[in-house]
Amino acid sequence: MEKPIQSETSFLARLRTALSCFNRALTSPDFSRQAAELLRSPQTQAHHKPIELPPERAHASGLAVLSLLQREGRLIDFLKEDMAAFSDAEIGAAARVVHAGCRKVFSEYFVIEPALRDAEGATISVPAGFDAQRIRLTGNIAGQPPFCGMLKHHGWVATAVRMPAISEALDPRVLAAAEVEL
């Protein structure tokens, strides 16, 4: 069995730290001040409690993607708009704006590739120990792999994410600011 690491929490180590703290607090005013601060800090008391972020902070990058899709491709406007009253031609024209803008976001911030390289409609073999993250089986799943089946959808995998750095100063809940013309 592996020897446990001589950590900072072993008794001897703690004794060493305590003694040197004692000495340095006596000799260095700077150290003494820092040590006092550490003793006061609430984090030393509730040490291992995880910091809970509000949901908009926890999911800030998801909101940022929405914001980008709106900024470049007006996606939120499009999805929130009632389509019933418009003709296909009108929707088609607006869809060009949405398509061009969202596509730009996609190509700038993500590299997205098919999960499987085979052509859709091809008969492929799914080996034993296949990646169940990337391959979803449908239809008659019976017996053990390898399975043989037809590729219906090649799937999508993000192979790179290049999200821009977004300032903490921004409220992630604001997906698009209201525009007021003066």
Contact 91, 84 (CB under 8 A): no
Window contacting another protein (CB under 8 A); options: 5-13, 118-126, 142-150, 159-167: 159-167
3-state SS, residue 171: coil
Bridge partners for 9 per DSSP: none
Supply the minimum distance, in Å, between the C-beta of residue 152 and another protein.
32
Confirm if 92 and 124 have CB atoms less than 8 A apart.
no
- Number of chain residues interacting with another protein (CB under 8 A): 28
Residue 151: how many other CB atoms lie within 10 Å? 19
Cβ neighbours for 24, distance < 8 A, ≥ 6 positions apart = 31, 32
Identify the residue among 66, 116, 135, 166 touching another protein (CB under 8 A): 166
Q: Contact, 116 vs 134, CB < 8 A?
A: yes
* DSSP code of residue 79: H
Judged by CB under 8 A, the residue of 21, 35, 65, 71 near another protein is 71
Helices 11-27 and 29-40: crossing angle, nearest 10°?
A: 130
Residues 82-141 that bind another protein (CB under 8 A): 83, 85-86, 90-91, 93-94, 96-98, 100
**Cα separation, 62 vs 55, whole angstroms:** 11
Among 60, 69, 78, 102, binds another protein (CB under 8 A): 78
The answer to whether 36 contacts another protein (rule: CB under 8 A) is no
CB of 167: closest distance to another protein in angstroms?
4
Stretch that binds another protein, among 27-35, 41-49, 153-161, 165-173 (CB under 8 A): 165-173
Report d(CA 10, CA 8) in Å as an integer: 6
The residue within the footprint of another protein, chosen from 37, 118, 120, 171 (CB under 8 A), is 171
In the list 56, 77, 118, 120, the residue contacting another protein (rule: CB under 8 A) is 77
Residues that bind another protein (CB under 8 A): 71, 74, 77-78, 80-81, 83, 85-86, 90-91, 93-94, 96-98, 100, 164-171, 177, 179, 181
